[in-house]
Structure 1
Amino acid sequence: MFRPASVLAAALLSLPFSAHALESGPKQPLPMFDLQRLRLDPSALGSLVVGTGRTLAPGQLRVALNYHYEQLPMHFQTRWEPGAGTGLVENKMTAHLTVGVGVLSWLDVGGELPFVLTQGGKPTLEYFGPKTGGLATPWLTARAALLRQTKGAPFNLAVGLTAGLPVGSREAQAHEDYAWQPRLQLGYVGEGFQLGGEAGVFLRKRQDLGPVSYDPHDIAGNELRLGATVTSLHGETTRGEVSVITGVPLDGGRWGAELLIAIRRHALSRMDLYVMGGPGVGAGFDTPTFRFVAGVSIATSKVD
């Protein structure tokens, strides 16, 4: 005899077990790429993240240690929805060591060594995100000044090349098989202010994350990277800067942009303390909803 009450009771009792089976189902690692795209400028001449076409003086050395926090640096959405949410990576903390040195009057070189301290999030569909820290992609950079205001040019102009080394941790989602970022930087130093802008192409192996989110627009690949900054040069001890950076996908995907506001204080003649933070906008899956950086730098002479 068919008993509706018994069937309903059995169905209700099975729901917790079904849900548990779905949550504990097989999960796969993500396609491999470095989640971190923000580059800190080792010389920090003007902006901490946007070049201004200037180079460090010959023999000048700047070393900085930075703490870096990101909120929701990896989450999937079809439109920009600011606020809290869930994602494969919800909170991420990274330490960055940067070194910049002036080689010639028109050339400086530098490096960035990031280390993921901790990160975590929630599985999405059949994929799990990184839950461990580790060494991220180290970066080497070189910049050559083509035009300099100090030599009578109307503005500063430089070309730069940043290259990633393929030694980052795969478990921390911090590895690129190859990564190159050639850039053109432009700047102008006025009376008490400085303007800067840069345009470059971020070249890396294309990775399709459509199977993760079931959306063909979720792609990690080549990008046009643009940045602009304005900095105050007033004051002997404290100055501010406002920077905007954006990524325009070239292999499909969604765009993302960030507004970053920084305050730098010259604690000593050769030591700077600074903080920087701001929101991310756009529906790019690797654009954090908020970013915060705090750091200290020591230089052989005052950088800016």
Structure 2
Amino acid sequence: MFRTSMLLPTRLRLLSTLALLPSLASAASTTAPAFDLERLSLNPTSRAALGTAAGSLREPGELRLALAAHYERSPLTLYRDGERMDSLVGSRTQVQLAGTYTVSKRFEVGAILPLMAHQGTRGFSNVGMTSPSSWGLGTPVLQGRLGLLDEASAPVSLAAELAVGLPVGNKDALQGSGGWDVTPRVSAGRTVGPVVLGLEAGVRLRNRTAVGSNSVGSELPWAATVATTGHKLRGELGLRSAVPLTDSPMPMELLAGGRYALGSRMEVFALGGPGLGTAPGTPAFRVMAGLSVSALQAVQPVMRPRIAEALPPTPA
């Protein structure tokens, strides 16, 4: 009798433990949220600056291609009561392919294809979550730019833009949410002495996703740049931020860089700087470097004198 009474609590504890196993296994295999962690939207094929298009377009008939390597440090960090706890994503290395074709003096189209080469996600296992994939396809972006004003005949250069992120980015690698990512924006610029002042603002429309205590989703991104206008070497300084339309901190980044022309068709560029704030996608710092080339340029028509003007005068 005594032995039976002793075994009963033991069996009850065993049954309770077995009943908890499915929930413990589920908690241990919690997957990371599906969203696009990348915030930076550069213009490596832009004529004015890397940070903004400054309302300008390239020459009609020109096809500009760019290849860039992109590194971020700690773009996703865990905070508790405002104190930094751990980096869920310690680092990210991407390769970006970009291209722009200027159809006319008022319209150009472009595309950006990001590829994740590696990301360190060891921090996810420390909080009981399945680590995202370390590589994968990013969110491809198709974009168009319509020139509205040109500072040659107006106070500023002004352009309306539309960028559409396709829903094919790898959700398992924090490269997309499975939904569309649409950003209409306006960019403006003006040349003041040896520099170009650029400003852009828009609306980024995307799915809302809970990321810890924050919520990543639609926002109002903006950027401001100042860039020099030299023929060989050009420098720039830019500030990027966004006003979140969800429960998320405001991101901010200060980026400085430069471009160096290698002849009339090719240039190399580099950009980097710190991130400020705790919003998901804001790194401790980032650096980007690459090259761009004019794969196709419009052939300027050769002005020839009329035949009548080229012939010697007829003697009287």
TM-score range relative to shorter protein: 0.7 to 0.9
In the alignment, which residue of structure 1 is the partner of 2:62? 60
2:45/2:66 contact within 8 Å kept? no
Structure 2, unmatched stretches of 5+, are 1-23, 299-316
Structure 1, unmatched stretches of 5+, are 1-21
2:110/2:142 contact within 8 Å kept? yes
In the alignment, which residue of structure 2 is the partner of 1:293? 288
> What is the percentage of aligned positions where both structures have the same residue?
36
Secondary structure at 1:166's aligned position in 2?
A: coil
Pair 1:81–1:294, CA change in 2 (3 A): farther
Structure 1 residue 301, shift from structure 2 partner: 5.3
Quick one: which amino acid aligns to residue 189 of structure 1? T
In the alignment, which residue of structure 1 is the partner of 2:48? 46
**Count of aligned pairs:** 271
In the alignment, which residue of structure 1 is the partner of 2:29? 27
1:248 paired with 2:243, answer yes
Pairwise CA RMSD: 2.2
In structure 2, C-alpha distance between the alignment counterparts of 1:240 and 1:202, rounded to whole Å: 28
Pair 1:28–1:108, CA change in 2 (3 A): same
In the alignment, which residue of structure 1 is the partner of 2:102? 102
Cα deviation 1:278-302 (Å, max 9, x = unaligned):
0000121221110000001101459
1:231 paired with 2:210, answer no
1:50-199 to 2 correspondences below 5 Å: 50-77=52-79, 86-121=86-121, 122-123=123-124, 124-150=126-152, 152-176=153-177, 177-199=179-201
In structure 2, C-alpha distance between the alignment counterparts of 1:111 and 1:98, rounded to whole Å: 6
1:275 paired with 2:276, answer no
In structure 2, C-alpha distance between the alignment counterparts of 1:230 and 1:80, rounded to whole Å: 33
2:77/2:278 contact within 8 Å kept? no
Secondary structure at 2:79's aligned position in 1?
A: coil
Secondary structure at 1:38's aligned position in 2?
A: coil
In structure 2, C-alpha distance between the alignment counterparts of 1:263 and 1:148, rounded to whole Å: 24
Cα deviation 1:74-96 (Å, max 9, x = unaligned):
112268879xx732211100000
2:46/2:57 contact within 8 Å kept? no
Pair 1:154–1:64, CA change in 2 (3 A): same
Structure 1 residue 65, shift from structure 2 partner: 0.2
Structure 1 residue 189, shift from structure 2 partner: 1.7
In structure 2, C-alpha distance between the alignment counterparts of 1:155 and 1:80, rounded to whole Å: 42
Quick one: which amino acid aligns to residue 219 of structure 1? S
Q: More deviation in 237-246 or 38-47?
A: 38-47
1:89/1:130 contact within 8 Å kept? no
1:55/1:108 contact within 8 Å kept? yes
1:230/1:243 contact within 8 Å kept? yes
TM-score in terms of structure 1 length: 0.84
Cα deviation 1:247-278 (Å, max 9, x = unaligned):
21112211110001011100222111111100
Cα deviation 1:20-41 (Å, max 9, x = unaligned):
xx9xx71311221111121121
In the alignment, which residue of structure 2 is the partner of 1:264? 259
Secondary structure at 2:130's aligned position in 1?
A: coil
In structure 2, C-alpha distance between the alignment counterparts of 1:115 and 1:276, rounded to whole Å: 18
